[in-house]
Structure formats: C-alpha cells, structure tokens
C-alpha cells in the first residue's frame, strides 16, 4: 500500500465562487469555472454563505463531486439538515463557494471491480464506475426509490447493476449487502453508512478481496487545518479530509467507529 | 490614497494587523493555496509541544449556533518536526509566530528554547489557555499565580518577543493582563475559546467525546471584544484581539477597543481566504473614513 500515490495527493486545490445552475431536493449543479481537475472519490467543501453574512450554518459542508461536465460541478445528496436543505433550494445564479478538490479519491481498479453504494454514498461512486475499464458490477441500495441517487446514470453504464431498497419501492426489497457475494479476482469499493461499510469490509475480508471504503466524518475545514475529522485506525488516527476519505478497509478500527 | 495598514505588535513589525490564529491555519503550508502569507500581518502556527502529541478520539468538533465547539487537545507534530519540516516550507518573507504549549512550566520553557534557537521566527505566543487540556486540574491561564509562574519560566528562555495568549474563562481579565505585564511579557493575545458543552438529547450524551470543549466563531465575538476592551484599560501592553472575527468590520471593532492587531480563527474554516478579504476590507474602511493609517483606529472607541 502506498497511500501517497493515491489520486488527489498534492493536487491543486482552490476556492472558487460558483453560481447555481439548478438546485433541487437531491441535486445541485454549480457553474464553477477554474475548479481544478479532480479524481473520482474526491470531495469539495460547499460554503452556502460565501460572504459569511448569515453564519447559519457557519461551516461549509463536505460533498462528493458526483460528476463534472465542463465547468458544471454536480452534487447529489439527501436533505438531512439545514445545510443540505439550503443546498436543495437555491435559486439559479446564487453564489456558492467551493473549496476543492479535496482528499484522496479512489485508485481506479486494475481488474474486475465490485462497487457497493448505500444511500448518499452512491454519490461518491458514479465517476469511479464511469471511469473503470475492467468488468464492473455495481450494487446500489437506499431506503426508498427517491434516495437512489443517480440511478439513471448508472443504468446508462456498461455494468452489471443490482438495486435494492429497504421499502421495496425499487429493485429487490432489503439491504444492499443481503446476499452480496464477492467473485474471485474482484476488488471492492464501497461508500455508505458505517454499518453497511462494516458488512462489506467483513465480506471482503472473508473473500480476501482488496477493499477501499469512503467514509464520512464531521469536518470544519476539509483540508487539514482543524484536525477535527479523525477516524480511528490500527495505529492511531487518520485525518479523513487529507488522508481519506477513501481508506483501506483493513486499516480501520471498525469497532471504534460510530 | 493608499492607507497605511502597517502596525507593530510587541516589537514585531507587521505589514497589516491581520494574522491567522493558532490551530486554525495548520502549520501555514495548508493555507498556501488560499492566501499568500506574506500579504498578511502574519501567521501563528499550531501550538507545539516538546514531543509530538496525539489528541482526543472523535467526535472532536461540532457546529453550534454561529460557532463551533472543539476538543482537539493540542495534537501536533512536536517542536522538532515543526522546525525541521514545516518552518522551511513557508515563504521566506512571511511573518511567523510559533505557539508553544506544555503540561508544566518547565516544558513550555524547553519549547521556547528550541524556538529561540531557530531562524525565521518573529515571536513566540505561549498558549496559557487551552480550554480542554488541563494540567493539575487547572489551566495556567485561569489562576494568576500559575500564570505568573509560567511566564517567569518562559521569559528567560527566549529573546524573541513573547506574547501570552489568555483564556476568557476567568473572573478578571484585567488581573491576568496585569500579571503578564508584571512578568515582562511583550504582549497579550485574547481570547482563546470559551469553555462550553453541547449535549445530544437523543443519546443523552455530550456531543464531543471529550465532554467539554472550546466555543469559537462569531458567537463569542462580543465576549472577546469586552475582554480586549477591559485588558486595554488595565495595561499598556500591546494586545492582539481574537474571537469570532469574520469581516473587516469585526476587525475594526477590535482595533477600536484597543487591539493593535487581530487574529482570524474559525473563519478560516468557513472561508480559507477570509483573512485576505479582511485585510482588503480594512483598506476600504480606511479610505471610506478618510483615515491615513490603520493605527489611528487603535483604542479610538468613542465612549
Ligand atoms: C468526504 C465526504 C463526502 C460527502 N459526500 C456526500 C454526498 O455526496 N452526498 C451527501 O448527501 N452527503 C455527503 N456527505 C455527508 C454530508 O456532508 C452531510 O450529510 C452534511 O454535512 C449534513 O449537513 P446538514 O447541514 O444538512 O445537516 P446538519 O444540520 O449538520 O445535521 C442535521 C442532522 O442530520 C444528521 N446527519 C448529518 N449527516 C448525516 C448523514 N450523512 N446521514 C444522515 N444523517 C446525517 C446529523 O447528525 C443531524 O442530526 C459527505 C461527507 C463527507 C465527509
Ligand atoms: C479547532 C481549533 C483548534 C485550535 N487550536 C489552538 C491551538 O492549538 N492553540 C491556540 O492557542 N489556540 C487554538 N485555538 C483557538 C483559536 O486560536 C482562537 O483563539 C479561538 O478559536 C477564538 O477565535 P475564533 O473565534 O476566531 O476562532 C483553536 C481553535 C479551534 C477552533
Ligand atoms: S476537516 Fe479539518 S482537518 Fe480534516
């Protein structure tokens, strides 16, 4: 493992004040010219109040870059609190500051890959799926159909796609990890709630498959100055914003994660 | 007319009164994509201990109304790694102040000695006020006798300008400021974070793993202004004002209350270019008010 060669390390990062192209309860697109090139799995900090006038919320919010097309940056989310609700109700033309790209993303698979996305974690996986060149399986799960972020985009990819929802409103009824098997030679990539990641990591360990997981933590800065975003690993802590969000499943102390 | 933004803090000449606060700008290198450090008054780097130090388990931070709570617990690379790896990576013309911390006065003094021997530092700030790290049950900045013992240990350890960063968690800030003046400090910086607690009613637990934390951000600005004002009334030491500053208007308020310079903290997280915008805003303020030199604002509160 040479984490220092992961995509995103030492990459150029900037603060760009973008303009809202469109915004809805599950998606935000910004025109953000000058935002540097990013790698799949990297994220940005979104400051919804660039002039720091309202300070409610005060801190920017970490969001995976779902997709970039030209100068348009796209984010996918679920309204869970003040920040994500504001993100989903912005008017076109409003200013949003984006700091990024941040963190170390996914290393593109060299052979067959299995991508497992749960809930908002799906948003971190789309570009990885799109840019993978080997045989690809994608398993997506969410609570309801509406929360299967970007399902239509995954459908358009050349991959073996399976879908599940907890309420059965789309795909199989149940959890994304139910009956999930890892095929020989597959590398595993996962993003979602910690419970799901724990289950995927256990399956990967059993199958002796390499497994990269993208985690979440509370973040104030997103680029290594607050030291607030640590997650427990075998030999101490990792800063999720600069050493993650993608980590090797084997190095995490799963029992100490919330 | 280009207003003169230069000022001087405890014998340290500053290009302008805007510095980055300790613990909110890393070791400086992390800020380089967003600010040119040599365009600011200066940088106070993350507090350093003699040995590298690991902080608290997560959650370490939480957002609060107009602020945030933190209990990082002074995690840092240690003074030697700072001098070997971090300091040389910073732009040569930036004004750099190191911050030091220890669990007893002798350990503070040894950090000061190492820093004193290094090239490229303009001064030392002693962090006498971390609200969630305790030594012997009390922080140095909360007890006049301990504070005086601490400064007495550090003062002979360095010839660099010595700034003392004070805690807001005291009954009389004037008394603490007088202790600093009496012990030969060159300046005081205030405030550090305000001791605070957040509770999650669902789990019935404190939000932070550490329990207590330090409150920072716009929420504490009026407390900080009051304390800077009171300290300025009590001593003639130069004062660096800190606490919730996010705009040039905030910075002006601190200068009016008697601060010679200010530090931007939590606002760096919200906008890593905030300090540059504040500096530009100060120049605009001076132009708008026909002020030739920003130093005219120091202590000019109309009461
Ligand atoms: C690297 C990284 C990438 C991320 N990418 C995405 C992404 O692409 N899409 C996305 O939707 N989210 C993503 N997140 C999570 C997202 O940052 C948080 O959901 C967001 O900060 C919540 O802000 P808020 O103001 O809406 O909620 P807050 O007001 O901060 O919180 C409101 C309530 O929601 C709870 N809450 C917070 N986060 C979550 C969550 N993730 N799920 C459920 N409840 C939560 C809080 O505990 C609180 O009770 C990412 C996080 C990280 C660290
Ligand atoms: C996450 C965090 C870490 C901090 N670390 C330090 C530190 O190492 N040393 C120090 O003297 N102050 C530290 N501080 C305090 C700040 O320098 C500043 O005094 C305080 O946050 C108030 O200013 P603000 O409201 O502008 O943030 C820290 C503050 C925060 C939020
Ligand atoms: S979020 Fe601030 S250091 Fe990671």
Residue B173 Cα distances to A19, B130, B197, B228, angstroms: 45, 16, 22, 9
Task: Specify which residues B261 forms β-bridges with.
Answer: B240
pLDDT digits (tens, 9 = 90+) for B140-192: 888 999 999 999 999 999 999 999 999 999 999 999 999 999 999 999 999 99
Phi first, then psi, for residue B195 (nearest 5°) are -60, 135
B47 at A interface, C-beta within 8 A: no
Contact partners, residue B223, CB within 8 Å, separation at least 6: B168, B191, B194, B243
The domain ranges of chain B are 7-297
Percent of chain B whose predicted confidence (pLDDT) is above 90 = 93
B85 reaches A (C-beta below 8 A): no
Q: What is the pLDDT of residue B255?
A: 98
pLDDT at A133: 92
- Tell me, using a 6 A CB cutoff, whether residue A43 lines ligand 3: no
Contact A159, A114 (CB under 8 A): no
At B132, the pLDDT band (50, 70, 90 cuts) reads low
Which residue in the list B130, B154, B257, B286 is annotated as catalytic? B130
Pick the CATH number of B7-297 from 3.30.70.980, 3.20.20.70, 3.30.1330.20, 3.20.20.330: 3.20.20.70
| Domains of chain A by residue range | 14-102, 113-256
Domain A14-102 identical in fold to domain A113-256: no
Do the Cβ atoms of B269 and A50 come within 8 Å?
no
B130 has catalytic annotation: yes
Question: Span A86-98, mean pLDDT?
Answer: 97
Average pLDDT over every residue of A168-196: 95
**pLDDT higher than threshold 90 for residue A185:** yes
Ligand that comes closest to the CA of residue A223: 3
Nearby residues of A69 by Cβ (< 8 Å), 6 or more positions away: none
Q: Encoding tokens for residue B231?
A: 């300290």
Residue A228 CA, ligand 3 centroid: distance in Å? 5
Ligand nearest, relative to CA of residue A229 = 3
Those residues with Cβ within 8 angstroms of residue A219's Cβ, 6 or more apart along the chain or in another chain: A45, A59, A62, A226, A228, A229, A240, A241
Query: With 80 as the cut, is the pLDDT of residue A4 above it?
Result: no
Give A-chain residues touching B266 at CB under 8 angstroms: 58, 220
Q: Does the structure show a pLDDT above 60 at A3?
A: no
Residue A193: is its pLDDT beyond 70? yes
Q: How far is the CA of B46 from the centre of ligand 2 (A)?
A: 9
| Ligand 2 cavity residues, CB under 6 Å | A 226, 228; B 21-24, 46-47, 70, 72, 74, 99, 127, 165, 192-193, 216-217, 220, 242-245, 265-267
Which of A13, A58, A223 has its CB closest to that of B270?
A58
For the entire predicted model, the pTM comes to 0.95
Asked whether the predicted pLDDT for residue B272 surpasses 70, the reply is yes
Summarize pLDDT for A198-236 with one digit per residue, the tens. 999 999 999 999 999 999 999 999 999 999 999 999 999
Given a cut of 90, is residue A11 above it in pLDDT? no
pLDDT at A78: 93
Of B57, B269, B274, the CB nearest to A220: B269
Centre a 10 Å sphere on the Cβ of residue B169 and count the other Cβ atoms it contains. Answer: 17
Which of A9-18, A65-74, B24-33, B127-136 is least confident? B127-136
Residue A194 Cα distances to A190, A217, A252, A258, angstroms: 10, 10, 11, 7
User: What is the CATH T-level fold of the domain A14-102, as seen in this structure?
Assistant: Elongation Factor Tu (Ef-tu); domain 3 (2.40.30)
Ligand 1 centre distance from Cα of residue A82 (Å): 10
pLDDT at B131: 63
Q: Supply the pLDDT for residue B141.
A: 84
As a whole number of Å, the end-to-end CA separation of chain B is 29
For a pLDDT cut of 90, what percent of chain A falls above it? 94
What does the mean pLDDT of chain A come to? 94
Summary mean pLDDT of chain B: 95
Structure confidence at residue B137 (pLDDT):
46
Higher-pLDDT residue of A6, B263: B263
pLDDT bracket for residue A5 (50, 70, 90) = very low
Q: Residue A85 CA: which ligand 1 atom is closest?
A: 26
Residue B263 to residues A53, B18, B138, B266, B291, Cα–Cα distance (Å): 19, 6, 25, 10, 22
3-state secondary structure (DSSP) of residue A47: strand
Asked whether the beta carbons of B259 and B300 are under 8 A apart, the reply is: no
User: Residue A9: which pLDDT band, with cuts at 50, 70 and 90?
Assistant: very low
Contact A228 B72 (CB under 8 A): yes
pLDDT, position B134: 57
What CATH class has A113-256? alpha beta
Q: What residues contact A55, with CB distance under 8 A and at least 6 apart? A: A49, B66, B217, B218, B246, B270
B135 pLDDT band (50/70/90 cuts)? low
């Amino acid at each position: 493992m040479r984490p220092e060669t992961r995509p995103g390390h030492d990459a150029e990062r900037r603060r760009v004040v973008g303009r809202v192209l469109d915004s809805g309860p599950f998606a935000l697109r910004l025109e953000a010219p000058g935002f540097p090139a990013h790698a799949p799995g990297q994220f940005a900090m979104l400051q919804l109040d660039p002039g720091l006038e309202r300070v409610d919320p005060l801190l920017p919010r970490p969001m995976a870059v779902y997709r970039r097309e030209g100068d348009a940056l796209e984010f996918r989310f679920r309204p869970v609190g003040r920040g994500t609700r504001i993100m989903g109700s912005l008017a076109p033309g409003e200013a949003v500051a984006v700091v990024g790209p941040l963190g170390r993303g996914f290393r593109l698979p060299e052979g067959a890959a299995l991508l497992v996305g749960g809930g908002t974690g799906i948003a971190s996986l789309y570009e990885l799926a799109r840019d993978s060149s080997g045989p690809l399986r994608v398993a997506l799960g969410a609570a309801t159909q509406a929360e299967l972020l970007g399902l239509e985009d995954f459908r358009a990819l050349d991959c073996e796609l399976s879908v599940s929802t907890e309420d059965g409103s789309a795909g199989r009824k149940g959890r994304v990890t139910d009956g999930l098997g890892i095929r020989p030679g597959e590398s595993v990539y996962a993003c979602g709630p910690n419970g799901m990641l724990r289950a995927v990591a256990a399956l990967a360990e059993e199958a002796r498959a390499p497994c990269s997981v993208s985690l979440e933590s509370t973040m104030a800065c997103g680029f290594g100055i607050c030291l607030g975003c640590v997650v427990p690993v075998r030999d101490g802590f990792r800063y999720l914003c600069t050493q993650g969000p993608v980590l090797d499943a084997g190095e995490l102390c799963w029992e100490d994660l919330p | 007319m280009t207003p003169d933004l230069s000022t001087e803090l405890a014998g340290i000449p500053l290009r302008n009164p805007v510095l980055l606060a300790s613990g909110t700008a890393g070791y400086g290198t992390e800020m380089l994509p967003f600010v040119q450090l040599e365009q600011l008054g200066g940088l106070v780097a993350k507090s350093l201990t003699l040995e590298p130090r690991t902080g608290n388990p997560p959650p370490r931070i939480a957002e609060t109304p107009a602020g945030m709570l933190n209990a990082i617990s002074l995690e840092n690379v240690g003074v030697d790694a700072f001098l070997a790896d971090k300091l040389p990576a910073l732009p040569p013309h930036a004004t750099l102040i190191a911050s030091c911390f220890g669990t007893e006065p002798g350990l503070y003094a040894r950090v000061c000695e190492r820093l004193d021997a290094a090239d490229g530092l303009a001064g030392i700030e002693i962090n006498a006020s971390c609200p969630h790290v305790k030594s012997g049950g009390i922080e140095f900045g909360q007890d006049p006798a301990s504070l005086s013992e601490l400064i007495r240990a550090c003062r002979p350890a360095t010839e660099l300008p010595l700034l003392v960063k004070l805690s807001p968690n005291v009954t009389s800030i004037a008394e603490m400021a007088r202790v600093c003046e009496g012990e030969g400090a060159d300046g005081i910086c205030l405030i550090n974070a305000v001791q605070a607690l957040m509770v999650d009613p669902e789990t019935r637990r404190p939000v932070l793993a550490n329990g207590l934390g330090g409150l920072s951000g716009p929420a504490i600005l009026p407390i900080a202004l009051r304390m800077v004002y009171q300290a300025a009334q009590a001593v003639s030491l130069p004062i660096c004002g800190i606490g919730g500053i996010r705009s040039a208007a905030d910075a002006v308020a601190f200068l009016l209350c008697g601060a010679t310079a200010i530090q931007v903290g939590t606002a760096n997280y919200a906008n890593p270019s905030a300090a540059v915008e504040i500096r530009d805003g100060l120049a605009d303020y001076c132009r708008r008010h026909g002020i030739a030199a920003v130093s005219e604002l120091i202590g000019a509160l109309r009461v």
